[in-house]
Amino acid sequence: MKKSIIVSVVLFLLFFVCNSIVSIGVDKKMYNFSKKKHFFEKIKEVVEKEGANVNYRSYEGHTPLMKAALKGDKKLVEYFLSKGAKVDIANRNGQIALHKAAQKGHLEIVKLLVKKHKAGVDKQDKDGNTPLHKAAGENHNKVVRYLVRKGASVKIENKKGQTPDKLVRKTKTAKFLKKEAVKPQIK
């Protein structure tokens, strides 16, 4: 296995066990990573000194950017983007980093991905869910409102025939989405 692939695997493993320490050897070097101590510096070392691929995909298709977006780590999201991480890479379920951030309600990361990096607000996963569906399903009102303001369609149906307003459990967000659904969509 090439060194760059091994180093990329090391980088990716950080996100699966970020609450514990990972030790792995790369070319007779041992890397120890811990979320609590010097985590960001270790990530930078692996990317910058060892040449880890920031777009490396796991078996499930997850990238370091997706994992950082899911965890809500804005500093790491910004770092990966500055190193060339692509916002449009989808995992096996068809989800991009924006789906992950929206599902967890990480508004600042959603804004960063949409505004600065033009992530697709209407990108559908294999189940037909958009980032708006994900945010609505978890009742993340601020994310829902932001995505709608940025042009996310409230009329897209997933494979179950559900629009985002059908997934909302909080009445305030549901009323907002129903009101938006009757407005003409301008893109």
Considering only residues 132 and 171, tell me which one the structure prediction assigns the higher pLDDT: 132
Give me the CATH topology for the region 58-181. Answer: 1.25.40
Question: What is the distance between the alpha carbons of residues 47 and 78, in angstroms, rounded to a whole number?
Answer: 14
Q: Which residue from 7, 6, 1 is spatially nearest to 49, judged by alpha carbons?
A: 7
Where along the chain do the CATH 1.25.40.20 domains lie? 58-181
For residue 174 the two structure tokens come to 């549901």
Ranges 4-13, 35-44, 146-155: which has the least confidence: 4-13
**Cα–Cα dist 177/139, whole Å:** 12
Structure confidence by residue, pLDDT tens digits, 24-77: 333 334 344 444 456 777 778 777 877 778 888 878 888 888 988 998 989 989
Q: Tens digits of per-residue pLDDT, 94-123? A: 999 999 999 999 999 999 999 888 999 999
Which residues are bridge partners to 164 per DSSP? Answer: none
Closest C-alpha to 67, from 130, 178, 57 = 57
